Amino acid sequence: MSTELPSESPNDFEPPTRKGNSLIIWLMIIAAVSFIVYMQTQRTEDRAKKKQIASHSKLIDFQNKILMGFFGITERDERALDQLKSSAEDPFPQQINSVIVINELGDARRALREIERIENRLEEKEKKPELAEVLPILKKLYQDVDAGEHALPSVSKEDREKLKKKLGWMGELALHPSTTPDVERRAELLTEAESAFTLAIGGLLGGICTCGLGLIGLIVLIVFLASGRAPFRLDPRPTRGAIYAETFLIWLVLFWGLQMLLTLDFIGNLPVSRMLLSCLASLLSLLALLWPVQRGIPWEEAKHEIGLHTGQHPAYEALCGIATWAMCLPLLFVGALILWVILQFQQMVGGGGVGGSGPAPHPIFEEVARTDGWGILQILFMASVMAPLVEETMFRGVLHRNLREMSRRSHMFVTFTFSALVNGVIFAIVHPQGMLGVPLLASLAVGFSLAREWRGSLIACMVAHGLHNGLVLLFVSAMLR
């Protein structure tokens, strides 16, 4: 990054002749983005088909641990037990969980009555193979517990392995009820539940406190920007026509082309991990930044216009990036509300819509679940260093600049809102979380765009983006360990 130039007034640089046809380039961008969305959708469906039962995942295990950690600190009363009864509409894991938790909070006879309720529903309605496969084992298990057979003689070794495979951590807990002779293993399971609950509560409280501070900062920043006490440091002059739109299109094709190349089978035979190769591919995609120079913009001017400078001071810009991340959390909450409304609407119309019951998990979480410490470090570097560097350069640097040029004649509120929303939506839909992930990711992107306007430099955007990715990844890693 170069040192920040003194100002960005229209007289600093001699405006070049407008080049390119913006309409044609934007039609090509829309086509490229549509193709990427299609490919992402196909990959998401493929990943979903590989996971036959959701309870296999470590994420479901973590949710179950939180559940048991919560009930471990609550009083056991009749109302709590009644609320645990499942319904026919509940997914497979939730119906099974209700049986196991009822045994933990009540007794084996209550669990057996819940199994009988579920079996009656299965006879009356559509058969569910996964339930029909697991329920008989749990029935034998809790009949043994009710009869005082603490070693569970009716549950064979094959049945035990099936419970562990189908139910994960919850299956282990079912096999180690409060009367189990294996006291040490049960203590380990309960400790894991308490740790998961503590982690979840700590993350929730920390997020709420940071979100509150971020909301105050966001309101103050908006008031200062609106009143002129804080300047907008992104000046869309001189105008460059379609040059920056062309640059973004070249990057989009180059980046996704290289990433698709890494999915080929022969890449797995190379002595370098796919994650490190992905980092290299991301860096190579930045060769697209040579295009403005090729089109006649001096490199020093292009860097400044994109935001690749140090701002007032690198350390100060980094601190502003931390503040930006905190201010993004209230926007993320707004995105979550929009997502909730969409999901409620889908439920009302009785369909899964464009994304089922929620955003698809990022495929990088699958890597986190099965890799070791060295793999986690590689993923952390990719998510919190390389991704912010590349994505902020292209989305908040190149693309946001072009959008601001296109709408420069409008009121400042209009041009910023237009530019932030368009680049935010594009940023969101090319990610692999699916269409239901758009409200969350786009809300974050709007926050990064606000930082771009506030600071001029991309450092704050990169730091906020990297901090968010890093914290999410560390939290997910702790969940899945």
Give CA–CA dist 54/67, Å, rounded.
Answer: 16
- Give the number of other Cβ atoms within 10 Å of residue 387's Cβ: 19
Cis before 292? omega within 30: no
E strand or H helix that includes residue 27: helix 22-50
Global pTM reads: 0.84
Tens-of-pLDDT digits for all 481 residues of the chain?
Answer: 544 444 444 444 444 445 778 899 999 999 999 999 988 887 766 655 554 333 345 777 887 888 788 776 555 555 555 555 555 455 666 778 788 888 887 778 888 988 888 888 776 555 567 667 888 999 999 999 999 998 999 999 999 999 988 888 889 999 999 889 999 999 999 999 999 999 999 999 999 999 999 999 999 999 999 998 988 899 888 889 899 999 999 999 999 999 888 888 777 777 778 888 999 999 999 999 999 999 999 999 999 999 999 999 999 999 999 999 999 999 999 999 999 999 888 888 865 444 455 676 777 777 777 777 888 899 999 999 999 999 999 999 999 999 999 998 888 999 999 999 999 999 999 998 888 889 999 999 999 999 999 999 999 999 999 999 999 999 888 877 6
Coil vs helix vs strand at 31: helix
- Angle of CA points 465, 469, 474, to nearest 5°: 150
What phi and psi, each to the nearest 5 degrees, are found at residue 309? -140, 175
Structure tokens at 461: 């955007």
Supply the DSSP symbol for 360: P
Coil vs helix vs strand at 298: coil
Quote helix, strand, coil % in the chain, to nearest 5.
Answer: 75, 0, 25
Structure tokens at 454: 């506030």
